[in-house]
Amino acid sequence: MKLVGIVGSNAEFSYNRILLNFIAKNFKKLVDVEVLDIKDVPMFNQSDDQTNSEVIQNLNNKIMQADGVIIATPEYNHSITSALQSVLEWLSFKIHPLDEKPVMIVGASYDVQGSSRSQLHLRQILDAPGVNAIVMPGNEFLLGEVYDAFDEDENLKDAQTAQFLETCIKKFIRFINVVKVIHAPEGMQDVSDTEDLYATGAIDTTVEGIDMSADDWLEQAAEATQAVEGNTYVKLNRGLLTVNQLNHFLNSMPAELTYADSNNQFLYYNHNMEKEDMLAGRRPEQVGSPLAECHPERVFSGVSWVIQQLRTGKQDVVRTQVPTHGPDKFVVHSYQAVRDDEDNYIGINEYVQDIQPIIDWYLEQTGQQLTGGGVDAVSGATSKVDTVAGATVKS
Amino acid sequence: MKKFLSILGTNSDYSTNRILLQFIQKHFADQADIEIFEIKHLPAFNKPEDKTAPQEVQKLADKIREADGVIISSPEYNHSVPAILKSTLEWLSYTNQALIDKPVMLTGASYGRLGSSRAQSHLRQMLDAPELKARIMPSSEFLIGYSLQAFDDNGTLKDQQKIEELEQIFNDFIHFVDITNQLVNANETHQKQAANFSWETN
């Protein structure tokens, strides 16, 4: 993952530059951070457009290519510096490299405030429509009394503070990934026309001449194909079972199984429960229906997207968690591509499971416990931070 | 008659805030002598080690000191004030601290409906910083939205209600200047405190 760190000051000596260098050096196993200076950026003037100058274009390109941006801001007069303000004005005038870019704010200051007010201003500025960055909420890293914060090797002296900074960086990495999901073009566009959800075509195995929507499609299709059943043997790779054995075997699977073919026709589910008792309800008369008739129209785009992922081979399995079953269950829908010996996509195996019992069993067997990820939002920098206003008594 | 210095908060060649200040200058000519100061020639603030103000900055500081009050008119860039205005305030706070205890009135105009409301709110917070410590007139928001359509060809505000609103605020400001100066004279410790303020050690 590639980040750029922007030094929010044009001063020759800046603790915020030292802070960003520390981040780049100390967390290089986690992220690749390139520290950028803004001291050569001219003062913004809308009547003297210098968007195409080398220094602004350089910032523009570096930001565009980065997965995220860390801005380190000092505090001047309860706000950010005019130098940083000017940069943000250039980057929101004719060009908009920060548009929808994940941004993390850190800051260092000489006083106890640790840039608290300027960070709030910066959030509001980054939220302006011309800038439109996506700023990570919370995780406020304020480094007060900064003249005493670093040792001679420019490392943070206080281990707790460094630990808190690491937590913030790790969260930012996760935040960037979340933002990527939100902005995946597939998630934004209506892609429902990429799949024939009404199964209007036919493949080699399609049983033609029978109304797919008919409640007794299965009975009609079985008759038309002279399908075997009951105690007739079926030869499989690798084994021999009767149809009854096969049915009971599939019904004993610890998941709800559904098969839809590459023509988007719903052909099978392991029917061992009534619809109301299932995690993802199915009715016997639905078998044979095109997928369009098994889903409400508002999800057509999502369904098509999933099928496209599998059909085109972008993914072999797409998983999604459905949180509507309450806190005692963790229900996962997995859409697994079914491929033949030549690796051609021939359909979907959707299996729906509550994996909570498996996790509980694992924890019980290994004597482990789930924790919140070791994150302590109030530790670290707080020893140097005064979030209560009124520190101005010193002045 | 009062003597006010008005500061235009932008370096742009065309600015409806400039038109607004020119209107104020003209409209209240019988009540106050108002000079309009352009900050576009000021260098960008860069925290120089010797802490001396460049000539242009010193000129502004002198004018502020001579004035009974200051009027700042700012557009809104990115929910805040333009960098050039911020830079000007940084110079003043870092070098001569000319705004300390100076009565200040804020106005603002913007092309959109909101009329620079967020910029004014940021500006208030900045002027309240210990390094600036201006005396901002409270409860006196004057905002002009849709500023491109707000003035006629002579630079007069078209909306009579807006003019009355401005007259009221301006009258308040004249009183506010008197009251503030009484208060300030009674308590000179502010100046001493602020003079001792250091960016590096505070």
Could you give the domains of chain A?
2-183 (3.40.50.360), 192-366 (3.30.450.20)
Picking from A238, A292, A97, A11, the residue whose alpha carbon sits closest to that of residue B44 is A11
CA distance B152 to chain A (A): 23
Cβ B79–A128 below 8 Å, yes or no? Answer: yes
Q: What would you measure as the largest C-alpha separation in chain B, in angstroms? A: 52
User: What does the block give as tokens for A64?
Assistant: 């565009």
- State yes or no: ipTM above 0.90: no
Written as one letter, the residue type at A294 is: C
The rounded mean pLDDT for chain B is: 93
Per the domain annotation, does B75 fall within a domain?
yes
Cβ contact A230:A242 at 8 Å: yes
Q: Which CATH number covers residue B20?
A: 3.40.50.360
Whether residue B12 lies inside any domain: the answer is yes
Tokens found for residue B145: 């939205």
Comparing CB atoms, the residue among A43, A46, A395 nearest residue B193 is: A395
pLDDT band at A186 (very low <50, low <70, confident <90, very high): low
When scoring B86, B89, B95 by the number of chain A Cβ atoms within 10 A, the one with the most, hence best to mutate, is B86
CB distance B90–A42 less than 8 Å?
A: no
In a domain, B170, yes or no: yes
CB A6 within 8 A of CB A69: yes
Q: Is residue B7 part of a domain?
A: yes
Q: How far apart, in whole angstroms, are the C-alpha atoms of residue A24 and residue A28? A: 6
**What is the model's pLDDT at position A392?**
32
- Mean of the pLDDT values across residues A337-345? 95
Interval B21-66: pLDDT, tens: 999 999 999 999 999 999 999 999 998 888 899 999 999 999 999 9
Domain for residue B202, yes or no? no
- Domain span at B48: 2-196
Q: Using DSSP, state whether A76 is helix, strand or coil.
A: strand
Give the pLDDT confidence of A246-257 residue by residue, as tens digits: 999 999 999 999
- Residue A147 touches chain B, beta carbons under 8 Å: yes
Domains in chain B: how many in total?
1
Residues of B in contact with A7 (CB under 8 A): none
Give the per-residue pLDDT at A386.
34
- What pLDDT, on the 0 to 100 scale, is given for residue B201? 57
Which of B3, B72, B2 has the alpha carbon at shortest distance from B39? B72
For the segment A69-107, what is each residue's pLDDT rounded down to a tens digit?
999 999 999 999 999 999 999 999 999 999 999 999 999
Q: Which residue of A has its CA nearest to B80?
A: A125
Instruction: Please say whether the beta carbons of A178 and A43 come within 8 A.
Output: no
CA distance A151 to A384: 16
Residue B201 domain flag: no
Is A82–B194 a contact, with Cβ atoms under 8 angstroms apart? no
For chain A, give the percent of residues with pLDDT over 90. 81
Beta-ladder partners of A335: A318, A350
Residue with tokens 């000179």: B188
The answer for A 13-72 residues in CB contact with B (under 8 A) is 39, 42-47
Please compute the mean of the pLDDT values over residues B179-187 and round it to a whole number: 84
A83 in helix, strand or coil? helix
% pLDDT > 90, chain B? 81
Q: Does A10 touch chain B (CB under 8 A)?
A: yes
In a domain, B107, yes or no: yes
Question: Nearest residue of A to residue B47 by CA position?
Answer: A11
